[in-house]
Amino acid sequence: MEFYQGEMVVIPNETPWHAATNFLRASASGSAEGRCWRYDKISQRLTEAEGQMSMQDAIDLLAEVSQEETQWSIVYGMSTGDVNVTMERQYDNLHTFHLNFATE
C-alpha cells in the first residue's frame, strides 16, 4: 500500500515476500522494473533466494543499496515478529525489537 498524489494505492503482492525502498511503485504505470536500481537489486536477490534470507544477509543487501542520505534500514521477520533496525547507515549497530503476536 502506498500513498501517491493524495490517494491510497493498493499494489497486490505477487510473491510471498515484500520489498520496499523510497521508490513509489504507484508512480510507475505498469511494471516497476528498471525504474529504481535499488528496488531492482533487492527484488532480484529476493527472487534468486526465493525470499529466504537470513536477517544478516538482508541487512547486508540493504547496506549494498544504501545511499548517502539513507536514514534507516529495516528488516521485518514476518513470521517471528522480529524488527531489525539500523540508523544512518550504521549497519554494524543493529537494534532488534520483538513484536508479540496476539493469540486467541
Look up the domain containing 63 and give its range: 36-104
What grid cell was written down for 80? 517471528
pLDDT score of 59 more than 80? yes
Q: Do the beta carbons of residue 80 and residue 95 sit within 8 Å?
A: no
Q: Quick one: pLDDT at residue 102?
A: 67
Q: Do the beta carbons of residue 101 and residue 92 sit within 8 Å?
A: no
pLDDT score of 75 more than 80? yes
**pLDDT averaged over every residue in the chain:** 89
101 part of a folded domain? yes
76 part of a folded domain? yes
Between β-strands 7-9 and 72-76, what pairing exists: parallel, antiparallel or unpaired?
Answer: unpaired
Q: Quick one: pLDDT at residue 13?
A: 81
3 part of a folded domain? no
12 part of a folded domain? no
Q: Quick one: pLDDT at residue 103?
A: 63
Report helix, strand or coil for 25: helix
Domain count, the chain: 1
Of the pLDDT bands very low, low, confident and very high (cuts 50, 70, 90), residue 87 is very high
> How confident is the model over 80-85, as a mean pLDDT?
93
